[in-house]
Amino acid sequence: MAVIGGGPAGAISARQLRRMGFHTCLIEARGPLRPVVGEALPVTTLRLLHQLGFGSAVAERDALRCDEIVQRWGDGDATARSTSVVMVDRGRFDPALVDIAAETGVDVMCPARLRRRDETPEGWDLEVETGAGIVRVAARFLVDARGRRAAGSRPLGATTVALCARWRGVALAEQPQMRIEAADDAWLWGAPLADGSLVVQVFQRTADCTGLSPASREARYRAILRGAKLFSGCDAGVLVDPVRARDASCRVGIEPVTRNMIRIGDRCLAMDPLSSQGVQSAVRSALQGSVVANTILSGGDREAAVEFYRHATHAIATRHRETSAAFYAETGSGASPFWHERVGARRTSAGIEPGRRTLPSRVRLSPDAHLVDHPAIEGDVVRRRSALIHPRLGEPTAFAEGIALSGAITSIEHVYRVPDILARWGSMMPEATARALLNWLVRHDVLIDDDSSSTGPVMPTVRPPSASRASWRPD
């Protein structure tokens, strides 16, 4: 098993595959000296890293907690709200993840550059350039985690470039805080790092920065900061690094998975930076991709595994594009091309109403709810099982609140009083889980208010497997 790329997705996938029993080789091009890149990790991501055994990658000396975010959108005043994130330097964070993978038995080649790859009947023949010379690696399966810059992806919406640099001698606030601000044709993000520097990134249209010399790039970067109210204080500081331009476009892989290769992390789906979900998305992709690879290599249902990953990638990409466009529409600073291009995929569906609804005393199953045969993750493999579809659900859903939906729904046939449903579920799950599941089904309109005193729930139609299976061909 060969994993190409040592970012969060590659390192976590390599460790997961090694845990599943595969001899795994991780190939990473960048050595220990990497550019400083600031990243905000939500506490939910930190908990997930701890659960996966990567908690030590966030060393106290390299992490800085930020409990406040200051935002200024459009012409309005700046507003502050509480947040809970930890700022890390990806230049240190990523190598720490690779080190943890190596400690668990993953063979790491770093720095090493993939020069050539040839597909063979047995898998892949890789030619890797290392400090010691050219090394040949034979792999049954290839996990591609090389990031959004690699070929084989397409932009999902307007293209974006980030102008990135660090400052010293800038104190924007007494306490560590993130700052986000919208400009006429850009938006800005900045936050301090544990070493005392301040990372500030300016996100613009790619066309506005193409072909700029280093001096022109820095001049443009400084001009935008001077015009921003939340970052005007940077002029009093010292620019530490040259202003770098990096691709920050939302991208999706053209072919996320084949019979002997899978793309994960930004290589599969690179999120819009405004979402602040980069690392969390990479972790999710690594976990799903590892299960898909294990299913294919262990002789499981290969068709189900491929269908699952393709469908999951498409569903997440579509949902992310719509929600990002809606956010740009709500917070945009004006009608400039930058903001106009980013609201093209604005959500038009009703969506799910926020918050909880009042729980009715009697419910019945919505006539729009159906059970279909659909691939889902069970442990370390993908299997087909009954899943729920409904217009309010973005995709077929097999589990909610950790419970198999098909069993929960079919167990309440002819039961429509809420207390009776909770009593029926009492033998299947804890009471708190039963109440959470019931609220989830009501909130998504799967169970609706029953206005009849004589008619119980109409049970969902179970569609045949062919109704939910996508066509699959070997690549």
pLDDT of residue 354 exceeding 60, the answer is: no
pLDDT tens readout for residues 436-446: 999 999 999 99
pLDDT at 346: 52
pLDDT at 155: 86
pLDDT at 355: 46
Q: pLDDT-derived band of residue 284, with 50, 70 and 90 as boundaries?
A: very high
The residue among 468 and 215 whose pLDDT is bigger is 215
Tokens coding 419 = 């207390």
Where would I find the H helices in 256-399?
A: 278-297, 302-331, 337-341
Q: What long-range pairs does 322-326 form, CB within 8 A, spacing at least 24?
A: 322/346, 322/347, 323/275, 323/347, 324/157, 324/250, 324/272, 324/274, 324/275, 325/157
387 and 396 Cβ atoms separated by less than 8 Å = yes
The DSSP element (H or E) to which 9 belongs, if any, is: helix 8-19
| Total Cβ atoms within 10 A of residue 431 | 11
pLDDT at 334: 62
* CA distance linking residue 295 with residue 304, whole number of Å: 9
Rg (CA), the chain: 24
DSSP labels for 56-123?
Answer: GGS-GGGEEEEEEEEEE-TTS--EEEEEEEEEEEHHHHHHHHHHHHHHTT-EEE-SEEEEEEEEETTE
pLDDT at 59: 81
* CA distance linking residue 292 with residue 308, whole number of Å: 8
The residue among 63 and 414 whose pLDDT is bigger is 63
Q: Cα dihedral sign for 250, 256, 261, 262?
A: positive
* CA distance linking residue 326 with residue 346, whole number of Å: 5
pLDDT at 472: 30
Is cis: bond before 111, omega within 30 of 0? yes
Tokens coding 311 = 């469908």
* Average pLDDT of the residues in 85-94: 92
- Torsional class of 240: left (φ above 0), alpha (ψ -120 to 50), beta (otherwise): alpha
pLDDT at 333: 59
pLDDT tens readout for residues 26-48: 999 987 777 778 899 998 899 99
Mean pLDDT is lowest, of 4-18, 103-117, 132-146, 272-286, for 272-286
* CA distance linking residue 73 with residue 27, whole number of Å: 42
* CA distance linking residue 68 with residue 334, whole number of Å: 26
pLDDT at 111: 94
* CA distance linking residue 310 with residue 374, whole number of Å: 13
Tokens coding 232 = 């005007």
DSSP labels for 138-165?
Answer: EES-EEE---TTSSSEEESSS-EEEEEE
* CA distance linking residue 271 with residue 97, whole number of Å: 21
* CA distance linking residue 136 with residue 25, whole number of Å: 12
Per-residue CA distances from 122 to 117, 296, 466 (Å): 13, 13, 31
pLDDT tens readout for residues 393-404: 878 898 898 899
Decide: helix, strand or coil at residue 367.
coil
pLDDT of residue 353 exceeding 50, the answer is: no
Mean pLDDT is lowest, of 126-135, 146-155, 300-309, 419-428, for 146-155
pLDDT at 455: 47
Decide: helix, strand or coil at residue 43.
helix
Q: pLDDT-derived band of residue 188, with 50, 70 and 90 as boundaries?
A: very high
pLDDT at 462: 47
pLDDT at 465: 43
